[in-house]
Amino acid sequence: MEKIVSLCKRRGFIFQSSEIYGGINGFWDYGPLGAELRKNIRDCWWNDMVRRRDDIVGLESSIIMHPKVWEASGHVAGFNDPMVDCKVSKQRFRADQLFFARVEIIPEASAETTHSDPSTQTIGYVVALESDRTDEELREKAIELKRKKSIRGQLAPIVALDFTQAKPEEITLIPSPATGEPGSLTAPRAFNMMLQTHVGALRDESAIAYLRPETAQGMFADFKAIVDTGRVKVPFGIAQIGKSFRNEITPRNFIFRSREFEQMEMEYFISDQDDWMKWHRYWIDWCRDWLISVGIPAAQISEYNHPKEKLSHYSKGTTDLMFQYPFGTQELWGIAARGNYDLSQHSRFSGTSMEYFDEASKRKYIPHVIEPAVGVDRILLAILCGAYTEDEAPDEKGKMESRVVLRFAPRIAPIKAAIFPLLKNKPELVAKAKAVRDLLRPHLTVFYDEAGAIGRRYRRQDEIGTPFCLTIDFETLGEKGDDLKDTVTLRDRDSMKQERVKVSELLPFLLSKVC
Ligand code: ATP
């Protein structure tokens, strides 16, 4: 991970935001190459998700919406709980749903002593999440702890307390429910993850608005407006790409979890009588195939099905596509079957019916929805991690030296082709190279470079993932015969093979590789 972070900084992919002022935690800037890479990710997704399909339309809704939207969606109430983070597993728990108990032993000599007696000995803590077995679970864990520690004496009665009742000195002693080990839980903090602002001249309660924590609510709030334009029929989808903001308690792992990030979300509306499982599977497979199409190695993608008991009450099923990042296997893309919860909530809160009228059956109903939701930044990080390779390449004299290569899929690479005149002090070579650049530039992102030895120029392009390098040499000028006149050396980044290609064939060749 360190190598990737330093490459990103060195070559202008990603910088810390406001670095000259010491940075601001959870915010990142994308430099010249990062901006290109992001744009390519967005464009590929938009083309595949919206433009190349008949059943999905696009939307760009505002970042700040009516505050009632977030009441209806559950974000105002839902994000207000005291939260506890496990620093090791990165899991977050509602403090009032996390129970712990002191495990106390009554010394053998005083068998009559009770829990609060000062002569009891505390041997550790146990923890359990809220369920209908919380007390039993705590007791079983206490017995197990006593057995492990081979402590004699009688167990004092177990008293379950929720985490908001933990004393400051106890917090580091209570094990995390995720790891079973103490020391990783944070103190509970009342927390609403939505970033607030004020709209208008007043600064009072009535002016509070939120920066959206997800783009999805734009699709639900505009559902009726889009249906009324008459272009869509269930099943259909609304897709959006845009910035979202969450005041994450602990932003971490480079751009994986930040406070300002960009989402690509799509709400796919289906009939309430349709087979939601079929559509859920369809979208999981679509998302997986798409990740592979932008160069993410299939072997590093896995599926995680959220257990039924952890789903929100309205959710029918959620599957995450996970990626094996260097810091662990983590959620990349969530595909959730959300029933008709969101549209029903907006009907209730706004008083506007979100029912859909089905012409064929003459029936009105609130559609159900399947939501694939992904972050551009998490995809970008997965692409970088999947592409980073170190191998060996010959230098000018044929001696092998190590090289760093970003094996980006050509369709996603920030620069598609680099163009080099063999020598920069030969005006004919420079003029011809610039002519090739001008030929390609209207169609592809290309980069002209005349500085340094050719091997070094290749190496620089390998490191930023440029799939093709074109060298204009004396053969191109026809100095070695007419056969090779107007041909260039095309070098492939991955195989390092070189071949001669006619200038007139360059554009169709490159376009066939990068689209
Ligand atoms: P996590 O559990 O990692 O916080 P989440 O389940 O809250 O994520 P969703 O609300 O389902 O995430 O958001 C959909 C997608 O948006 C995620 O799969 C992820 O790709 C992206 N995303 C969410 N939060 C962040 C963040 N803080 N930084 C970057 N991307 C994010």
Q: Report pTM.
A: 0.82
Distance, CA of 500 to CA of 488 (rounded, Å): 5
Find, among 218, 189, 383, the residue nearest to 297 by Cα: 383
pLDDT score of 503: 96
Distance, CA of 155 to CA of 102 (rounded, Å): 11
Ligand 1 centroid vs 375 CA: distance in angstroms? 7
Residues 440-465: tens digit of each pLDDT: 999 999 999 999 999 999 999 999 99
Any atom of ligand 1 within 6 Å of the Cβ of 287: no
Say which residue the tokens 């596509």 belong to: 321
Our mutation pick for probing the ligand 1 site, out of 25, 258, 263, counting the most ligand atoms within 8 A of Cβ, is 263
Say which residue the tokens 């299939």 belong to: 298
Residue nearest to atom 15 of ligand 1 (CA): 374
Cα angle at 355 between 353 and 361, to 5 degrees? 150
Say which residue the tokens 């580091």 belong to: 172
Say which residue the tokens 């464009």 belong to: 43
Ligand 1 centroid vs 44 CA: distance in angstroms? 20
pLDDT score of 115: 53
Q: Which residues of 158-182 are buried (b: 16+ CB within 10 A; e: fewer)?
A: bebbbbeebeeebbebbbbbbeeeb
Ligand 1 centroid vs 297 CA: distance in angstroms? 21
Any atom of ligand 1 within 6 Å of the Cβ of 378: yes
Tokens of 95: 């403090």
**Burial of residue 344 (number of CB atoms within 10 Å: 0-12, 13-18, 19+):** middle
Q: Looking at this protein, which amino acid is placed at residue 224?
A: K
Any atom of ligand 1 within 6 Å of the Cβ of 334: yes
Distance, CA of 479 to CA of 495 (rounded, Å): 28
What's the 3-state SS for 489-503? EEEECCCCCEEEEEH
Residue nearest to atom 22 of ligand 1 (CA): 375
Tokens of 176: 């995390």
Cα–Cα distances (Å) from 11 to 33, 223, 387, 406, 486, in that order, read: 8, 43, 15, 12, 32
Tokens of 408: 């980006």
pLDDT at residue 212 greater than cutoff 90: yes
Tokens of 109: 């000599």
Q: Looking at this protein, which amino acid is placed at residue 90?
A: K
**Burial of residue 135 (number of CB atoms within 10 Å: 0-12, 13-18, 19+):** middle
What is the number of H-type helices and E-type strands within the chain? 13, 27
Are 209 and 197 in contact, with CB atoms under 8 Å apart?
yes
Can you tell me the mean pLDDT for 166-192? 92
Q: Name residues whose C-beta falls within 8 Å of residue 178's C-beta, 6 or more positions apart in sequence.
A: 86, 88, 89, 91, 184
Are 494 and 407 in contact, with CB atoms under 8 Å apart?
yes
Share of the chain above pLDDT 90, in %: 82
Can you tell me the mean pLDDT for 467-481? 93
Can you tell me the mean pLDDT for 297-307? 96
Any atom of ligand 1 within 6 Å of the Cβ of 263: yes
Any atom of ligand 1 within 6 Å of the Cβ of 254: no
Indicate the range of 28-37, 197-206, 291-300 predicted with least confidence: 197-206
Distance, CA of 460 to CA of 457 (rounded, Å): 5
Residue nearest to atom 24 of ligand 1 (CA): 257
Counted residue by residue, the chain has a size of 515
How is 222-272 classified by DSSP, letter by letter? Answer: THHHHHHTT---SSEEEEEEEEEE---SS-BTTTTB-SEEEEEEEEEEE-T
Residues 248-273: tens digit of each pLDDT: 866 778 999 999 999 999 999 999 99
Residues 215-246: tens digit of each pLDDT: 999 999 999 999 999 789 999 999 999 999 99
Ligand 1 centroid vs 72 CA: distance in angstroms? 20
Quick one: how far is CA 459 from the chain centroid? 30
Q: Looking at this protein, which amino acid is placed at residue 64?
A: I
DSSP 3-state of 108: helix
Ligand 1 centroid vs 246 CA: distance in angstroms? 9
Phi, psi of 265 (to 5 degrees): -125, 150
Cα–Cα distances (Å) from 116 to 29, 103, 120, 147, in that order, read: 55, 12, 8, 22
Residue nearest to atom 11 of ligand 1 (CA): 334
